[in-house]
Amino acid sequence: MSLLFDAVLCLLLLLGALGVVATGAARPAVIAFIGYGLLLGLAWVRLDAVDVALTEIAIGSGISGVVLLHCVRALPAPPRAPAAHPMLRPLAAAIAVAIAAALALAVLALPEPAPTRAADVAAALPATDLGNPVTGVLLVFRALDTLLEKVVLFLSLVGVWALSRDPACRGRPAPLSPEPAPAPSAFLARVLAPIGVLVGLYLLWAGADHPGGAFQSGAVLAAMGLLLVMGDQIRVPAAGNRSLRLLMLAGPFGFLAVGFAGWATAGVFLGYPPGAEKAVIIAVEVAITLSIAVTLALIVLGPPADEGRS
Amino acid sequence: MSALLVLAVTAPLLGLVPLFLLGPRTGERAALAMLAVNLAVTAGIAEQVAQGGRAPGYFVGGFAPPLGVGLRADGFSAAMMLMAALVLLLTGLFAMTGPGDMTRKVKARGSAGRPATFFILLLSLACALNLAFLAQDLFTLYVALELLTFAAVPLVCLEGKAGQLSAALTYLLFALFGSVLYLLGVVLVYGLFGTLDIAHLAGLLAQGTGGATAAAALALMSAGLMAKAALFPLHLWLPPAHSGAPPAASAVLSAVVIKAPLFLLVRLWSDLAPLPLTQVAGPIFAVCGAAAIVFCGVVALAQERLKLLIAYSTAAQIGYLCLMFPLAASDDGQWSALAWTGGTLHLVSHALSKAAMFLAAGLIAETMGHDRLSGLSGVGRLAPVSVAAFGLGGLSLMGLPPSGGFVAKVMLLTSALQQGSWWIATVVLAGGLLAGGYVLRVVVIALQHPDAGLPEARECRWRALIALALAFGAMLVGFMPLAPLPFLDIGRPLSWEGLLP
């Protein structure tokens, strides 16, 4: 039974990927991409990687999908491009298939059972008082990578804001839709947002011991914030707002501060105070979640408008 | 464990807080202060390496690799970090709001009128570069490359012009394509060995495990790095991106940003890959490098705009480092060490001279109001210091004494001749001639009698002096002895010996 399910899933994944590439227009391609991301999330669940599945669905399909849809709508109708060389597409397809086949061969040649660090992680995990090994790797053993990935996220927002006409980036981003929200959207935002926020907070809280964590939770919270904006329940905040900016910095720099404090408490950078590891780790996760939620939502909303014009 | 290594990665980030929360002037001063701290920290690391004669390391969080992540500074990374910190500080000073900028409307302000964004990106570059030079874990290096990409791409489009946006988008696509290829390689490596620590991997690979899959993983990672370093034939994004950016941004992009993926290519093939595999791959890189030197050199000769000319020259000069691969991987210890030193010195002197040339070109364009070569005759009278900085920087590109480029090319040439690689020697010489062609063309035009009345403008003198200082730095590298530098060999081959319990 599960074999049949997996076979159908693989087939659908291939069809979904083909759909993204084959549709000529931008909007159907984006919608196919969102569907493809959801199927990919299912595939990760089948591989017992629930953390990856949650992240794929929330970020890869959800937030990226909204950004892409927003872009498609903002784009003017594409000018009639001169027809590409008739051999170009078959050639690109042939190269892609060849690379995929080579990768498949390389993956099949990997040793079985796969060498892994899972045993090391499992041995070192009890000292951190965490139950979810993924959280252990992200926030303890490879904390430096996670810390700097948060800086990457911050930089991507700086990059989006650099496109603003206002050099100081103080204004409000343009609303997602120029018209007032229709009544169903407002209703949906009022009903769904509280539930969604609860789900987001649960993912954060559960992340220490079960699948879930800061990134998944931040993405859900960001989506709820966007839903409220689209339903006209809250106003888009101004980019120059001091508390908004503090929230954006809280994650990466709170984490960095904990890292420096590690020198005093544990004698090593990014070490956690012995005995209070779990409490500090959860505090870091809360700060990271807030920053991720705010930053992701602001990335979707786009560069702030010029204050002089709005 | 050396805490300086952690400070090298984290200290630049501390400057982001005042930049993001306080006004641009306060933030700018804080950013420059952090860039100065960064230079001091990297100098301290270099001093530790030289004094101790071995590579200092640090286990982040106290977890030793392969479970945790390690930082390590050998002689090669210390030299690169010092060079990058110097260039970043000087371009930061060039871009700061100086006396006169507030009253006089300065068009070619280094930071393009967005000091806060510019300095946020500059500090993030400092963090990304130091991480790329220090990290010993393939995934941490991926994070460094992501930081580098996301800090470098917005630099291209700070002014928001249509041409800059499309150049930035092309750059982003190439860079992300490179990230995906690199990450695919990393996944294969983890699947093969269950570790990403370079020192451990080097040991495993040297025993001959991995076979064709390991080679495929290295090839994927290298292709990704080549796209990010704009190595021929993946250089197409570089000229529009580097020539369209504001001057200070062009300087850091050309001088230091593309050096990080090049450094990692060297790391992969000289520290990670087993020697027999490097001897197979070396000539492939050398052919790409030779094609870059010849092809991009010829295209640079045909350019009509000054900044595009310099950008094509960057795409050409990257090739010299790739000529080093087969030479440094030979079994002949003495001559391969000479090629190794020559390649590194070329990276350093090219960074200094190219930063000087882009800054000088920015000032020349500001003085004249354009950078079309046909209209630049006589600009030497209006911008004498800038033209001098351009010429001195060009000296190093041509490989004339006394300059870092001369020493580097002599070393590569000697090593090539001693090892019988005639074609590499020929390419080194031909590249020097091509560089001479395009640099002298600009200098001759600048020193000509002006065709028409020159505009009523003067170069910004203190900024021109910064460019000149960078050009002098490139010349100072030329006073190195013509022998393998022992400093660069400190800490090789990679190991965690002395740190692991």
DSSP string across B352-406? HHHHHHHHHHHHHHHHHS--BGGG-TTHHHH-HHHHHHHHHHHHHHHT-SSSHHH
Q: Residue A6 is inside which H or E element, if any? A: helix A2-22
Contact B139 A142 (CB under 8 A): yes
CA B407 to chain centroid: 18
The pLDDT assigned to B430 comes to 92
B145: in domain: yes
Residue B374 DSSP code: G
A266 interfaces chain B, CB cutoff of 8 Å: yes
Dist. CA B293–CA B314, nearest whole Å:
9
Dist. CA B203–CA B450, nearest whole Å:
63
* pTM (two decimals): 0.94
Contact B60 A143 (CB under 8 A): yes
Shortest Cα distance, chain B CAs vs residue A93, angstroms: 17
B58 interfaces chain A, CB cutoff of 8 Å: yes
B195 interfaces chain A, CB cutoff of 8 Å: yes
Dist. CA B280–CA B259, nearest whole Å:
23
Q: Are B182 and B225 a contacting pair, CB within 8 Å?
A: yes
Suggest the residue from A151, A165, A170 to mutate for an interface test with chain B (most B CBs closer than 10 A). A151
The pLDDT assigned to A309 comes to 45
Q: Residue B220 contacts by C-beta under 8 Å, 6 or more apart in sequence? A: B181, B182, B184, B185, B188
Q: Are A177 and A238 a contacting pair, CB within 8 Å?
A: no
3-state DSSP call for residue B372? strand
At which residue do the structure tokens 């090391």 appear?
A120
Dist. CA A207–CA A128, nearest whole Å:
14
Tens-place pLDDT, residues A179-204: 787 888 889 889 999 999 999 999 88
B54 interfaces chain A, CB cutoff of 8 Å: no
Q: Considering only the beta carbons, identify the residue of B67, B194, B217 that sits closest to A124.
A: B67
Q: Residue B277 contacts by C-beta under 8 Å, 6 or more apart in sequence? A: B205, B215, B218
List the single residue in B with minimal CA-CA distance to A166: B114
Shortest Cα distance, chain A CAs vs residue B343, angstroms: 30
With both helix axes pointing from N to C terminus, report the angle between B384-398 and B333-368 in degrees, rounded to the nearest 10: 160
Three state DSSP letters for B235-295: CCCHHHHHHHCCHHHHHHHHHHHCHHHHHHHHHHHHHHCCHHHHHHHHHHHHHHHHHHHHH
Put simply, the chain B residues between 209 and 228 with a CB less than 8 A from any chain A CB are: 211-213, 216-217
Put simply, the chain A residues between 150 and 169 with a CB less than 8 A from any chain B CB are: 151-152, 154-156, 158-159, 161-163, 165, 167-169
Q: How many helices (DSSP H) and strands (DSSP E) are in chain A? A: 12, 0
Q: How many helices (DSSP H) and strands (DSSP E) are in chain B? A: 20, 2
B263: in domain: yes
B494: in domain: no
| ipTM of model | 0.93
Q: Are A279 and A141 a contacting pair, CB within 8 Å?
A: no
How many other C-beta atoms are found inside a 10 Å radius of the C-beta of residue B69? Answer: 26
Neighboring chain A residues of B9 at a CB cutoff of 8 Å: 144, 148
For chain A, the 3-state helix, strand and coil shares in percent, each to the nearest 5, are 70, 0, 30
Which of the pair, A310 or A26, is modelled with greater confidence?
Answer: A26
Q: What is the CA radius of gyration of chain A?
A: 22
Q: Are B88 and B119 a contacting pair, CB within 8 Å?
A: no
Neighboring chain A residues of B58 at a CB cutoff of 8 Å: 269
Residue B96's identity, in one-letter code, is M
Contact B68 A252 (CB under 8 A): no
Q: Considering only the beta carbons, identify the residue of B124, B140, B158 that sits closest to A151.
A: B124
Q: Domains along chain A? A: 1-75 (1.20.120.1200), 132-310 (no CATH)
Question: For chain A, what is the mean pLDDT?
Answer: 87
B336: in domain: yes
Handedness of CA A266, A271, A275, A276 (dihedral sign): positive
Beta bridge partners of B59: B70
Q: Are B27 and B116 a contacting pair, CB within 8 Å?
A: yes
Dist. CA A9–CA A32, nearest whole Å:
15
Neighboring chain B residues of A120 at a CB cutoff of 8 Å: 66-67
Compute the CA torsion angle B318, B324, B326, B328 (nearest 10 deg). -150
The pLDDT assigned to A308 comes to 53
Tens-place pLDDT, residues A16-37: 998 888 887 888 899 999 999 9
Contact B157 A162 (CB under 8 A): yes
Per the structure, the count of domains in chain B is 1
Contact B127 A148 (CB under 8 A): yes
Q: Which of B423, B445, B256, B264 is nearest to B351 (CA)?
A: B256
- Of chain B, the end-to-end C-alpha distance in Å amounts to 12
φ, ψ (nearest 5 deg) of residue B167: -65, -40
Q: Residue A87 is inside which H or E element, if any? A: none
Put simply, the chain B residues between 154 and 183 with a CB less than 8 A from any chain A CB are: 154, 157-158, 160, 165
Contact A270 B117 (CB under 8 A): no
Dist. CA A270–CA B60, nearest whole Å:
6
Residue B417's identity, in one-letter code, is L
Dist. CA A106–CA A81, nearest whole Å:
38
Q: Which of B44, B55, B259 is nearest to B145 (CA)?
A: B259
List the single residue in A with minimal CA-CA distance to B216: A106
Q: Which of B93, B91, B175 is nearest to A152 (CA)?
A: B175
List the single residue in B with minimal CA-CA distance to A142: B68
B52: in domain: yes
B362: in domain: yes
Tens-place pLDDT, residues A79-103: 666 667 778 888 988 988 998 898 8
pLDDT in single tens digits along all 501 residues of chain B: 788 999 999 999 999 999 888 877 888 899 999 999 999 999 999 999 999 888 899 999 888 888 889 999 999 999 999 999 999 999 999 988 766 565 455 444 555 667 788 999 999 999 999 999 999 999 999 999 999 999 999 999 888 888 888 999 999 999 999 999 999 999 999 999 989 999 989 888 888 777 788 999 999 999 999 999 999 888 889 998 888 888 899 999 999 999 999 999 999 998 888 888 888 888 999 999 999 999 999 999 999 899 999 999 999 999 988 899 888 887 777 888 888 899 999 999 999 999 999 999 999 988 888 888 888 888 888 888 999 999 999 999 888 888 888 999 999 999 999 888 889 999 999 999 999 999 999 999 888 888 777 777 778 888 889 999 999 999 998 888 877 788 888 887 888 877 776
Give the angle B139-A204-A280 at the CA atoms, nearest 5°.
75
Neighboring chain A residues of B24 at a CB cutoff of 8 Å: 168
3-state DSSP call for residue B305? strand
A123-150 burial code (b ≥16 CB/10 A, e <16): ebbeebbbebbbbbbbbbbbbbbbbbbb
Shortest Cα distance, chain A CAs vs residue B473, angstroms: 31
Dist. CA B317–CA A209, nearest whole Å:
52
How many other C-beta atoms are found inside a 10 Å radius of the C-beta of residue B266? Answer: 23
Dist. CA B77–CA B344, nearest whole Å:
10
Beta bridge partners of A176: none
CA B256 to chain centroid: 3
A114 interfaces chain B, CB cutoff of 8 Å: yes
Contact B61 A248 (CB under 8 A): no
Put simply, the chain A residues between 227 and 246 with a CB less than 8 A from any chain B CB are: 242, 245-246
Shortest Cα distance, chain B CAs vs residue A180, angstroms: 30
Residue A214's identity, in one-letter code, is A
Contact A114 B191 (CB under 8 A): yes
Which of the pair, A4 or B456, is modelled with greater confidence?
Answer: A4
Dist. CA B439–CA B457, nearest whole Å:
24
Tens-place pLDDT, residues A97-129: 998 898 899 888 888 888 888 888 888 888 888
Q: Are B253 and B152 a contacting pair, CB within 8 Å?
A: yes
Q: What is the DSSP string of A90-150?
A: HHHHHHHHHHHHHHHHHHHTS-SSPP-SHHHHHHHGGGGT-S-HHHHIIIIITHHHHHHHH
φ, ψ (nearest 5 deg) of residue B481: -65, 150
List the single residue in B with minimal CA-CA distance to A262: B61
Neighboring chain B residues of A121 at a CB cutoff of 8 Å: 67
B188: in domain: yes
Q: What percent of chain A has pLDDT over 70?
A: 96
Beta bridge partners of B60: B69
Beta bridge partners of B372: B305
Q: Are B282 and B329 a contacting pair, CB within 8 Å?
A: yes
| Interval A304-310 mean pLDDT | 64
B497: in domain: no
Q: Are B150 and A148 a contacting pair, CB within 8 Å?
A: no
Domain carrying residue B445: 3-489
Q: Residue B429 contacts by C-beta under 8 Å, 6 or more apart in sequence? A: B413
The pLDDT assigned to B107 comes to 46
A10 interfaces chain B, CB cutoff of 8 Å: no
Neighboring chain A residues of B217 at a CB cutoff of 8 Å: 106
Neighboring chain B residues of A106 at a CB cutoff of 8 Å: 188, 212-213, 216-217
Tens-place pLDDT, residues A235-274: 888 888 889 999 999 999 999 999 999 999 988 998 888 8
Contact B188 A110 (CB under 8 A): yes
B3 interfaces chain A, CB cutoff of 8 Å: yes
Put simply, the chain B residues between 326 and 385 with a CB less than 8 A from any chain A CB are: none
